[in-house]
């Protein structure tokens, strides 16, 4: 079945668990992105695959004081939560990190769904949803 799969990178999974960010919270964030409510774009405007920093609300709070998450995504194909940090943390994404994220996103975009899923599972990424589970 085609459609957008949502994944978590292993270190992001630990971040989400530590900060009590549920898969439902992440699915809602992915739905916002899918609906066009994107974050700060780290890629060029014409790039098919995106690397973005998106706001994610803290439980019981708003987005401005919550978290920032780095996502890779190819619309209608995949979205991967790669990095998370609290808004008040002084985190700077380096040029080499941006290039790594974009390179990974492009590599994954050129694979079939089955190949991409195999690669991500081999790297211990966790699939949390597929487009048919997003409301």
pLDDT in tens, 36-54: 777 888 887 778 888 899 9
How many domains, in total, are found in the chain? 1
pLDDT for residue 74 is more than 50: yes
| Domain housing 13 | 5-133
What mean pLDDT do residues 81-94 have?
A: 86
Alpha carbons 51 and 99: distance in angstroms, whole number: 10
The pTM (predicted TM-score) of the whole model is 0.87
Q: Is 16 exposed, middle or buried (0-12, 13-18, 19+ CB in 10 A)?
A: buried
Alpha carbons 67 and 87: distance in angstroms, whole number: 5
Alpha carbons 24 and 127: distance in angstroms, whole number: 13
Alpha carbons 98 and 106: distance in angstroms, whole number: 12
């Amino acid at each position: 079945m085609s459609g957008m799969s949502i994944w978590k990178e292993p270190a992001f999974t630990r971040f989400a668990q530590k900060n009590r960010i549920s898969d439902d919270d992440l699915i809602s964030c992915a739905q916002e992105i899918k609906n066009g409510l994107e974050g700060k774009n780290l890629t060029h405007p014409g790039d098919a695959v995106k690397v973005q920093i998106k706001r994610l609300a803290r439980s019981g709070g708003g987005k401005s004081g919550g978290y920032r998450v780095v996502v890779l995504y190819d619309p209608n194909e995949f979205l991967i939560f790669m990095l998370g940090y609290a808004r008040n943390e002084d985190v700077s994404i380096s040029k080499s990190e941006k290039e790594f994220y974009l390179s990974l996103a492009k590599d994954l975009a050129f694979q079939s769904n089955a190949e991409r899923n195999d690669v991500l599972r081999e790297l211990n990424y966790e699939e949390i949803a597929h487009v048919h589970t997003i409301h």
